A and B are shown apart, each in its own frame.
Chain A
Amino acid sequence: MDFKFSDEQLKLRKEFFDVCKDLEKIKPKGYVGLESNFDTDEGWEYHLHCAKIFAQKGWLALDWPVEYGGSGTMMDRVFLAEARGYYDVPGADVFGVEMLAPTILGAGNDDIKRRFLPGIASADVMWCELWSEPNAGSDLASLTTTAIRNGDEYVINGQKTWSTGAHRAHWAFAVVRTSPNAEKKHQGLTFLLFDMKTPGVTVKPLLYMEGGHYYNEVFLDDVHVPVNNVVGEENKGWAVTQMLAGFERSNLGAIMCMQRQLEDLVKYCNETKMAGKPLSGNPLVRNRLAQAACDLEAARCLAYRIADAQSKHEMAPFDASAVKITSGELQARVVHMVTDLFGPYGQVKISKWAKLNGFFETWYQHQFRLNIAMGTNEIQRNIIAWNGLSLPRMK
């Protein structure tokens, strides 16, 4: 075992942090969390600006094979995620860079790699995910959107929902049913890519609880997609979705985001007086801050272990579930702690009264999605019970 980073790793990690620190300085007012990319034009422009800077440095393709522009390792990618999480800086398209690219590298043919990886590496093409449907969320295999083959094309019909950033994205990756009569619902699914400007694609907003526009419903009416846009094989898309799902849940960026929150909070408690004394002198406050620090360190160790396993292709099927639950539920506890410490000021939206720029009033609402998206924590616990503890499989 070796819990230290090499000097070379530390140097690169510092470079990531330095660049993100500079990018933080030009962050638009009210930008809270990576999903702010999608809500406002300013947020989206900021995301594109950061993405271009990362692309110019070759950082969006760090751990790819050299022939596709790769120059580093999986851990290097983790370091960049940490730096972005810490400074709450976007720029790495979560769907293109974080999810689709490693999936294409793992399951795509040479043609797919040649056509789609360069746009991701250069930040010229932004992606969205079209998976969930009104009646297929955690039970994704129940999806009913069909793609019927017609010569060299599929004709897609159906409805997708909870599609983050679909109103901004250039392209989409979707999972659709190409064989409606397959014996089992996991069979007959296909993973394919298409341009969001394709005729028949209609995007409508699904507003978040605070009114933000991050999510969408996407209606697909006779959308024609070339068959050579399939990743993997026709009717074997479930395995591709599972591969991609593993890439979704490494979560070190989210953990570093919490690290920054805790540091900001400690600073606030040192600088803020209540009843004439610094908040940091209050035993209750100190106790809760210390507990959060312990929990965060445990979550960080777990996430590093999983990143290490992922880089060595040794990840257990339930590892991603464990870190998702750990970091998502810790974030909920941290936010509740902060709103407790802020008292009524924790309820005030961004304004002169708000503490720490009103970040936590917004984040109180945003953190909830962490324990819902990409498979609810109930589903994750089922996966751990089944895959990790060998308990009987539930439905």
Chain B
Amino acid sequence: MDFNLTEQQQMFKNSVKKFAEQELTPLVDTMDKQNNFPHEIRPKLAAMNLYGIPFDPKYGGAGADHASLALALEEFAKILAAMAIHLQLQHVVNDRFNKLATEAQKKQWMPAICEAKKVGCFGFTEPDTGSNPKMIKTVAKEVKDGYIINGAKRFITNAPWADVMCVFAKLEGDISLFFVETNRKGFSTGPKMDKLGLRGTDLSDVFFEDVHVPKDHLMGGKGGKFDALKDAMTIGKLCLSAQCVGLMQASLEEAIKYSMHRMHFDEPIFNLQAIHWLLAEMASRLEAARWLTYRAAFLKDQGQDTIKDMAITKLFVTSTAVDVCRWGMQVHGAYGISKEYKIERLFRDAKMYELLEGTSEIQRELIVKRLPR
């Protein structure tokens, strides 16, 4: 076993940390307070090749590993988790192209997304189904020159301004995956949703009304794409977990900083045992979550990741993040709920991670079904 980062990973982590501190800090108000996405950041993300971390350089990627992806998302989330979500979504879309598209399609879309010339979004959640994708109602019908898609998707990040969408639909009764250019006739998005946390990530409904796509937009052949969905969700869960590690690290750092300065009973509250217990608990849970996440990234890079491993990681890390950020707020006392301090944003953002890529309840079901009996 070797728990150390490689020299390359450490250098990458350091450079992303510096980038996030410099470039993302000024964007916090735009995203969180104004609920807007700052498009001017996209070329800078591309210049650092952050959209393409684990992908082959011939498709515009950086050729790095998933551990590096996790480290980047962790550093982003320490500063601005909503931007980390944007980054994650581009990886999930590109990962679909990487695994299921033709060579020509890969060359058409992946470099464009890595270079921030195009934006992708990804849709399986629908108004009547979230964590149970077998219930999806969006349908595709084969016609002479392609497919006609009808249906609606919900909670789609980046949808209002995406160029391409990977969308799951039922074709001949089984789940298939298509990519759809968003300028096709019949494709539309609903109004932007306002939400609790991870604000500025531009979430909306998406509607398909007789949207026609050519035959080659069916990704990986007809049917059987429930597995593709599960695969997409495993990388999604790794990405979410990495971001939660960043949130927890930020929460701990904020709590320590505040407690060192806040005077009560004639001394900093850092000296009070009640605060010691909170900080110690936060630090302990953070470390456990960090190494569980890094292990998940390691398994992914080894090709040994399983649904169970990712569900365990996601369940533990996201629920721990909610606790750790709540304790961070508790350390801040009344100031924890004030807009003047960062901790309230971390608290709101943390809750969102429990709900994405399958709620905690769904993760428990996935885990139990795969326990040895």
- A contacts, CB < 8 Å to B: 132, 135, 137-139, 142, 161-162, 206-209, 211, 215, 274-276, 284, 336, 339-340, 343-344, 346-349, 351, 353, 361, 364-365, 368-369, 371-373, 376-378, 381-382, 394-395
Q: List which B274-298 residues lie within 8 A (CB) of chain A.
A: 274-275
A275 CB to nearest chain B CB (Å): 5
A30 CB to nearest chain B CB (Å): 12
Closest-by-CB residue of B relative to A336 is B322
Structural contact, B339 and A365, CB atoms closer than 8 A = no
B242 CB to nearest chain A CB (Å): 20
Structural contact, B361 and A340, CB atoms closer than 8 A = yes
Structural contact, B195 and A206, CB atoms closer than 8 A = no
Structural contact, A395 and B265, CB atoms closer than 8 A = yes
Structural contact, A349 and B338, CB atoms closer than 8 A = no
Contact pick for A349, options B129, B195, B263, B345, CB 8 Å: B195
Known contacts A137-B264, A137-B333, A340-B360; can you find 5 more A-B pairs with CB under 8 A?
A: A132-B334, A137-B334, A208-B339, A348-B196, A372-B336
**Scoring B residues 103 to 131 as 1 if CB is less than 8 Å from chain A, else 0, what string do you get?**
00000000000000000000001000111
Partner-binding segment picked from B36-44, B72-80, B347-355: B347-355
Question: Given the complex, which residues of B lie within 8 Å of A349, measured CB to CB?
Answer: 193-196
Question: Given the complex, which residues of B lie within 8 Å of A369, measured CB to CB?
Answer: 334, 337
Q: In the bound complex, how far is the Cα of B263 from the Cα of A347, in angstroms?
A: 35
Structural contact, A368 and B336, CB atoms closer than 8 A = yes
Structural contact, B263 and A339, CB atoms closer than 8 A = no
Q: Does B197 contact A (CB under 8 A)?
A: yes
A109 CB to nearest chain B CB (Å): 33
Structural contact, A275 and B129, CB atoms closer than 8 A = yes
Structural contact, B265 and A209, CB atoms closer than 8 A = no
Contact pick for A344, options B155, B265, B274, CB 8 Å: B155
Structural contact, B338 and A351, CB atoms closer than 8 A = no
Question: Given the complex, which residues of B lie within 8 Å of A377, measured CB to CB?
Answer: 330
A245 CB to nearest chain B CB (Å): 16
Question: Given the complex, which residues of A lie within 8 Å of B354, measured CB to CB?
Answer: 339-340
Structural contact, A364 and B334, CB atoms closer than 8 A = no
Structural contact, B339 and A371, CB atoms closer than 8 A = no
Q: In the bound complex, how far is the Cα of B332 from the Cα of A372, in angstroms?
A: 9
A238 CB to nearest chain B CB (Å): 15
Q: Which 7 A-B pairs have the closest CB atoms?
A: A209-B344, A378-B274, A349-B194, A139-B264, A347-B196, A395-B265, A347-B195
Question: Given the complex, which residues of A lie within 8 Å of B347, measured CB to CB?
Answer: 209, 368
A184 CB to nearest chain B CB (Å): 12
Contact pick for B330, options A135, A347, A372, CB 8 Å: A372
